[in-house]
Amino acid sequence: MTDRTVHLVQLYPRDMNIYGDWGNTLTLKRRLERYGYAVRLSDHDPGDPFPSDADLLVGGGGQDSGQFRVQEDLQRIAPELRAMAADGLPMLAICGLYQLFGHEFRTGAGETLPGIGILDLTTVGGPTRLIGNIVLESPEFGTVVGYENHSGVTRLGPGQAPLGKVLKGAGNNGEDGTEGARVHHVVGSYLHGSMLPKNPAVADHLIRAAVERRLGVFDAAPLDDTLAERAREVAQARPR
């Protein structure tokens, strides 16, 4: 019998975990379990040996100070992350980590944090925080709902696909109507919310990619997402 275990790795949960990022990890873990897979969950924090056998990576937002603390370690593991991304390993990078998945982040205080260039984008610290409920339309995932809270202003490179078009909210920069970025099976976004509980389509995309990459085939019956559906309807109707 094949080993139906999926190795889920949280990137920097100590320094980059705010606005309910745990909800994304928990959603992936529970859904995998409910689909009939075992989950091995581990953390990667600065200085830890990088788990090269990871199947699925998830990382969240943080204070600017948190970004400074993880930045050096992120550069250390960048070659491996880039190779994994190109090899189709699914990753979810939210907010602070999303910014560092791009080329660079110039903070409001004028410092420059180098990114790891998996996503073709750059970010500068803006004068105002972009805060509120946000709704996107994504070609692959349909309507995506969440909550954004960031002062970073992100511009996508010319060939970089966004996660979706903003229907309500600010998105990457509040100007060009894009939100997030997508390449291979990597999803970057400013959406907290947490994002995955209310967007099972995104969660299942990451899960399917992880399982297919490890086991060749994803063969599970769909889950009942009634609660998520109700919560999505409410989230879309609430004031910004």
Instruction: State the CB neighbour count (10 A cutoff) for residue 47.
Output: 8
∠ at Cα 25 (51, 226), nearest 5°? Answer: 145
- Phi and psi at 123, nearest 5°, equal -130, 135
The one of Zn ion, other proteins, none whose footprint includes residue 113, by CB under 5 to 8 A per kind, is: none
Burial class of residue 223 (count of CB atoms within 10 Å of its CB; 0-12, 13-18, 19+): middle
The catalytic residue among 95, 150, 185, 205 is 95
| 95 annotated active-site | yes
| 44 annotated active-site | no
Which three-class secondary structure state does DSSP give residue 111? coil
The binding site for Zn ion (CB under 5 A) comprises 61, 95, 150
Name the minimum Å distance from CB 133 to other proteins. 6
Burial class of residue 158 (count of CB atoms within 10 Å of its CB; 0-12, 13-18, 19+): exposed
- Scan residues 139-178 and list those touching other proteins (CB under 8 A): 147, 149, 151
Task: Give the residue, chosen from 138, 156, 193, 199, that forms a contact with other proteins under the rule CB under 8 A.
Answer: 193
- Scan residues 10-49 and list those touching other proteins (CB under 8 A): 10, 13-14, 17-23, 25-27, 29-30, 41-43, 45
Site string for other proteins, 75-104 (x = CB under 8 A): ------------------------------
Q: What is the CA radius of gyration of the chain?
A: 17
CA distance 71 to 94: 15
The one of other proteins, Zn ion, none whose footprint includes residue 193, by CB under 5 to 8 A per kind, is: other proteins
Dmax over Cα atoms in the chain, in whole Å?
Answer: 56
Name the minimum Å distance from CB 160 to other proteins. 26
The one of other proteins, Zn ion, none whose footprint includes residue 238, by CB under 5 to 8 A per kind, is: other proteins
| Pairing label, strands 5-11, 112-114 | unpaired
Residues in the site for other proteins, rule: CB under 8 A? Answer: 10, 13-14, 17-23, 25-27, 29-30, 41-43, 45, 63-65, 129, 131-133, 147, 149, 151, 192-194, 197-198, 227-228, 230-231, 233-235, 238-240
